[in-house]
Chain A
């Protein structure tokens, strides 16, 4: 099946630093999504991207839909302790939603 390569696998950063993570695929997707999962909970949608080249912000979060439709990145600016969690990218085509393996983010305060 379709697969997404998400990197990095994990990050341990200082509070206040900016964070970047990305997803790539060998397949084209019509929609890219970014989710965050807090410990012991289900994923929550952060940002949805619908057009190639689209750049969308949600507070300190910014995400872009790659021009080739095969990649997307998520940036978090000025990280804070509550940013800790697992971040998932997901690509959507038709009836299927394919998730990346996740990026574990830890923040040192």
Chain B
């Protein structure tokens, strides 16, 4: 089944404890992206990747890192999480940038205490 998977789905952590949210797609997509969803703000793009080893900042990249060593994986790294990073995170992928059918993962709900 073609899909985008994220792990974990739920995470409660404490300020400053490094964490990684994994994202994987099995559709051989070139473009991948991370968003955070907050009430009243919709989805805001954190980082995106046009292809392997090509990443760029979105609208709200501060406090996040990403890597794209393989086509299928695009992990989101929070080196030192803070409470303002408590949010619902979505990974998405599409065949290429310009193909608007972005497939979204199921989301990761992160709480930073």
Of the 9-residue stretches B12-20, B62-70, B72-80, B102-110, which lies at the interface with chain A? Answer: B102-110
- Residue on B nearest A50 in the bound complex, by CB: B100
Q: What chain B residues lie within 8 Å of A101 (beta carbons)? A: 40-42
Partner of A42, one of B59, B100, B101, B104: B104
Question: B107: which A residues are within 8 A, CB to CB?
Answer: 40-42
Inter-chain CA distance A31–B97, complex, in Å, is 13
> How near does chain A come to B71, taking the closest CB pair, in angstroms?
18
What range describes how many residues of A lie at the interface? 20 to 34
**B101 and A45 form a contact (CB under 8 A):** yes
Contacts of B21 in A (CB 8 A): none
Distance in angstroms from B102 CB to nearest chain A CB is: 7
Interface flag for A60 (CB, 8 Å): no
Residues of A within 8 A of B97 (CB): 95
A95/B48 in contact, CB under 8 A:
yes
CA distance A48 to B92 in the complex (A): 17
Residue contact B106 to A40, C-beta cutoff 8 Å:
yes
Residue of A nearest to B41 (CB): A101
Which residues on B sit within 8 Å (CB–CB) of A102?
Answer: 42
The answer to whether B92 and A42 have CB atoms under 8 Å apart is: yes
In the complex, what residue of chain A is closest to B50 when comparing beta carbons? Answer: A95
Give CA–CA (A102, B25) in the complex, Å.
26
Q: Which of A4, A9, A43 has the most CB of B within 10 A?
A: A43
Residues of A within 8 A of B (CB): 1, 4, 6, 9, 31, 33, 40-45, 48, 88, 90, 92, 95-102
The 20 listed contacts between A and B (C-beta, < 8 Å) are A1-B59, A9-B40, A33-B100, A40-B106, A40-B107, A41-B104, A41-B107, A42-B105, A43-B43, A43-B104, A45-B101, A48-B101, A88-B42, A95-B56, A97-B33, A97-B45, A98-B45, A101-B41, A101-B42, A102-B42
Beyond A43-B104, A95-B97, A99-B44, 14 additional contacts (C-beta under 8 Å) are: A6-B42, A40-B106, A41-B106, A41-B107, A42-B90, A42-B105, A43-B90, A45-B100, A48-B101, A88-B42, A97-B102, A98-B59, A101-B40, A102-B42
